[in-house]
Structure 1
Amino acid sequence: MAIWNLGSINLDLVYTLSRFPAPGETLAADQVDRFLGGKGANMSVAAARAGATVHHIGAVGPDGAEMVQKLSDFGVDTAKVAAANSPTGHAVIYVVANKDSKEKGENQIVLFPGANQDLTSEHVENAMAGATVGDIFVTQNETNMQVEACRLAAAKGLRVCYAAAPFDAGAVAAVLPYLDFLILNQVEAEQLFEATGKRAEELGIKDVIVTLGGDGARHIDGSTGKVSTFDAFDVEVVDTTGAGDTFTGYVLAGLDAGQSMDVAIKMASRAAAVMVTRRGTADVIPTLAEAKSADLK
């Protein structure tokens, strides 16, 4: 089996700060790092590090060779990554590292989509030519062609998953008819309710996961109505960037390997807990061995 991910590929510039700047303020950073990022790339790397076969569908600009090489080095198939004329997507990320700050470990992100919005229907169709019934398809709201790709994946008999971030109610509504699986955080779930008048359990989707940050996660089985809750691990948070993407990639890898939803979520929670103790994005997503062996409480 395999995971097919229509997802963003970004260069992440991460600035470590003592606190977030106030409007109009100039604040010196303590450190800057370059990482592979983008919600799509993060999920692909997480799924690959969890042991899945992952095909990434995306685009980079003339400046994107470094990002594609990193994806490949992390075990992701990059044969379906197209070359675009626009600059490669990138993000500027502020992370507070001051242990005495109430904002410690939190982040602020400014995103430039770039080549992530240059995908074509022809590219998506060609990229998914090898997908087969029972494979998993996932996408997020950082590229174009989401609806077309979800429709194609559903027609091919794939399990269609949408990670609803960055959140846009219209984007979620457009892909809902094709979804088997929706993952969103608590704030996004409330935004979706405000836009549609429906709670997560009322959407008619087979599986919904609502992530709750430090409070864990909730799974809603749309077939039975059963709601299961999963506690988060208590760790020293360094950087929350990419933790949700790590969780999603691990859940999908577990399901692709034939695990039950409960087992997949528990391992994904371990991986996400390890992730928040590290500084960075795709480059520092834990391997399956690291997630399994981590001393977590």
Structure 2
Amino acid sequence: IFYRSKEDLVKELVFQATLYSDLPHLASDLPYFPAEEEDEEFEDGIHLVVCVHGLDGNSADLRLVKTFIELGLPGSRLDFLMSERNQTDTFADFDTMTDRLIDEIIQHIQLYNLTVGRISFIGHSLGNVIIRSVLTRPRFRCYLVKLHTFLSLSGPHLGTLYNNSTLVSTGLWLMQKLKKSGSLLQLTCRDHTDPRKTFLYLLSQKPGLQFFKNVVLVASPQDRYVPFHSARIEMCRTALKDRTTGPVYTEMINNLLQPLVGAKDCRLIRQNVFHALPNTANTLIGRAAHIAVLDSELFLEKFFLVAGLNYFK
């Protein structure tokens, strides 16, 4: 029955897909709890993984992500920095939050006297834009050669300009007005009258993503907080029909993707996620899918076991 149901499901899908149960090899074949761990000498330094939460989030948001990576890669020399410097004010502008995060990273390395061999970033939602902004700063330049994996969980890389949810767009607009939020204004590309001088457009012109070995974009069409196309960095139909801002949107996409495609040592991976969600108000407005990448143990275990752990080895 299982195999028949699986075949029927694949036939019904309108796109090509591989089910995890069909994969001959998993990303990890190590037991979660090995009998004993040997102390190894890591001459090339530790692998620093910086986790950055999203809007109105906190340092505990990505705790399950951290847990499943640690469980799946026992004995790895991983050091996690669960960013907390921005958790009291995620409504500030991106430049302010970038300064805070880069201070936090450098202070963490200095405080613990770390010899860093690799640096990876994991971001949720708005946190991904802060990460990309950090990569452009002169103070971070010496770490660019150490970049390994960028795991973007529902990141609004192209902003929220073409969000197909009127309810969410209205809610974000009201929140921006009430909080006088610089970050929300910048995400809607309304921080400058010239769209080519907005924060997101200028950020798209700066190098950053191509320095990673792996750029993994995780997106869900059920997520209405962050548009599916924005999380995947790709074109959408609404932008194609928009003769005013559409061309600028196309330029942003090209600015981001062309350096990635041209970088021989960089892989771009897009992962689409379809969650089994209950019929609740959170599901209706798209919030449930937006936070499921953080709190769904089913998704996180399957994602890391099947593919995700490969990006942190």
Same fold (TM over 0.5): no
* Shorter-chain TM-score tier: 0.3 to 0.5
Question: Which protein is richer in helix relative to its size?
Answer: 2
What TM-score, normalized by structure 2, do the two folds share?
0.36
Question: Which protein is richer in strand relative to its size?
Answer: 1
What TM-score, normalized by structure 1, do the two folds share?
0.38
